Amino acid sequence: MNMTPGLRKFALTGHVGISVALLGAIASFLAISIAGISSQDTQVVRAAYPMLDLVARFVVVPLALAA
C-alpha cells in the first residue's frame, strides 16, 4: 500500500506520540510499583496493587496496541 507523503507524516507523528505516551505510562507504572514495594505504610502497599492493575489495563495495554 502506497501512502501519500502527508498521510505518512501523519502516521509517523501519531506513532511517535503514542510511543512517547507509552514510555510515560511505563515510567508511572514503574514509579507506582517501586512505591508499593519499598513503602512501610500498609495503606500505600494496599493501594499500589489495584492502581497498577488499572494503569496496566486502561493505559499501558491500549497504548501498546496503538503503537
Tell me the pLDDT band of 1, cut-offs 50, 70 and 90. confident
- pTM of the complete model: 0.86
List pLDDT tens digits, range 29-39. 999 999 999 99
> What is the distance of C-alpha 59 from the center of its chain?
5
C-alpha cell at position 13: 507523528
Q: Which residue ranges make up each domain of the chain?
A: 16-66
The 3-state DSSP class for residue 39 equals coil
pLDDT tens column, 6-63: 999 999 999 999 999 999 999 999 999 999 999 999 999 999 999 999 999 999 999 9
What is the C-alpha separation between 12 and 35, in angstroms, rounded? 35
d(CA 11, CA 48): 35
